[in-house]
Amino acid sequence: MNNKKILLKLSWNNSYQVLVHALHRSKRSLPNLHTPRLQTENQILPSGTTILTTGIPVGSSVVRPFRKEVCTWCFAYHDGKTLKYRIDGKIYFYSSACLVVFSEYDPFHILRNTLIEGLYLKCEGEIQDEEVPLTENLADVIQKRWDEVSAWKVAVKRLKISKRQKFYPTVTAEDYAESNLYMDKEQTKNENELSKLLQSSEVEKVKKYPYILVSYTSIYKFVRLVVPDCLLLWVNPNNIRSIIGRNLTNALGIWSSVTEQDEEREYFGFGVHPSASYFNHSCDPNVQKLRVGNRYEFFASRDISPGEELKSDNVKERRRILKECFYVCELAS
């Protein structure tokens, strides 16, 4: 058998079963299920072995400046050229095939509904930073804000659509991009099970970036206003907070390809791949990742010994930027 075989091939239908099985096998080395580690068992993994191929992201967004140039489905980009395949003149695709498969993943036409774009234009604005009083418990402050959102939901539900405008949240361009998530039912079910094993970083992030609390309550309100009635059961503060808390530290950036080492890369957006989050970060990694369309391939960057933890470098781009500012990381590289 070819030693380059794929050890963990995560398809749309078996990603949950395969990865969770791998996690349970390595449970002996886990402090808890929120800090999992993937490790080899009893064989050497030769350099170049494909360890994991993710499925499509459970959620992704292309930043507004590149929405006409980057394919919403496969993230293809061709030297800044405007893509010719589109839906309602607002969602752009590299090919007709990308458009068709995207449409199949949007059965309720949520993203195709131009009302969303119109609603965003009515809500568009900038959010002012809010200071969290040092004397207050941060978790209590967060809970109070979400309690206010629950009261907002009840008030809006009683109103006719034509009377809801005064309840519209303020939504930034970044928040609008993040609210545009497209999902497949089977993919969503499996990947959401994986997401539950990831740690939420809501409190830590709000402590560092207080505006996040306002930003994400606004995202919740926006999503609540645009999803069809049949999905409202799942659009509640607990689910949104859970998703946000995990996405804050478990998303992968979508970057342009480069042909030269010192060439600048453009940031196109992000995608959330729960299965990819189980490789812990290390400045001395043994796993590298490569984006192939809207999926990621993780492969061994060197020979990996039996029982060795599988680790990837999640901050390579950040270290490159810091180096340009004359800051060089002194950790192992």
8-state DSSP, 45: B
Q: Are residues 161 and 254 in the same domain?
A: no
Which residues, in sequence order, are bridge partners of residue 296? 291
Is 191 inside any structural domain?
A: no
Rounded Cα gap, residues 55 and 67, in angstroms = 22
Q: Are residues 149 and 230 in the same domain?
A: yes
pLDDT at 261: 66
The alpha helices in the chain, defined as continuous H runs, are: 15-25, 96-104, 114-123, 138-157, 173-179, 185-195, 202-208, 211-226, 237-247, 316-324
Is the separation of the CB atoms in 206 and 142 below 8 Å? yes
pLDDT at 43: 78
Nearest to 53 by CA among 246, 269, 297: 297
Is the separation of the CB atoms in 141 and 135 below 8 Å? no
CATH number of the domain to which 61 belongs? 2.170.270.10
Rounded Cα gap, residues 139 and 306, in angstroms = 42
Is 245 inside any structural domain?
A: yes
pLDDT at 171: 59
pLDDT at 12: 31
Q: Which amino acid is at 300?
A: A
Q: Number of folded domains in the chain? A: 2
Domain range for 75: 1-105+250-333
Q: Are residues 304 and 219 in the same domain?
A: no
pLDDT at 183: 36
Is 331 inside any structural domain?
A: yes
Q: What is the pTM of this model?
A: 0.55
Is 187 inside any structural domain?
A: no
User: What tokens does 43 get?
Assistant: 């064989």
Q: Are residues 100 and 158 in the same domain?
A: no
Q: Are residues 227 and 276 in the same domain?
A: no
pLDDT at 285: 87
Q: Are residues 29 and 137 in the same domain?
A: no
- Say which residues have a Cβ less than 8 Å from residue 73's Cβ, sequence separation at least 6: 93, 94, 98, 99, 101, 102, 294
Q: Are residues 132 and 241 in the same domain?
A: yes
Nearest to 220 by CA among 199, 188, 201, 244: 244
Show contacts of 73-82: CB within 8 Å, 24+ apart: 73/98, 73/99, 73/101, 73/102, 73/294, 74/98, 74/293, 74/294, 75/254, 75/268, 75/269, 75/271, 75/291, 75/293, 75/294, 76/293, 77/256, 77/257, 77/266, 77/268
Could you say which residues of the chain have pLDDT below 50? 1-36, 114-115, 181-198, 333
Q: Are residues 258 and 213 in the same domain?
A: no
pLDDT at 74: 95
Rounded Cα gap, residues 235 and 69, in angstroms = 31
Q: Are residues 101 and 149 in the same domain?
A: no
Q: Are residues 76 and 140 in the same domain?
A: no
pLDDT at 91: 87
pLDDT at 80: 92
Is 189 inside any structural domain?
A: no
pLDDT at 7: 39
Nearest to 117 by CA among 180, 68, 75, 165: 180
Q: Are residues 233 and 255 in the same domain?
A: no
pLDDT at 30: 34
Rounded Cα gap, residues 292 and 295, in angstroms = 5
Q: Are residues 32 and 59 in the same domain?
A: yes
Query: In this structure, how many other beta carbons lie within 10 angstroms of the beta carbon of residue 51?
Result: 23
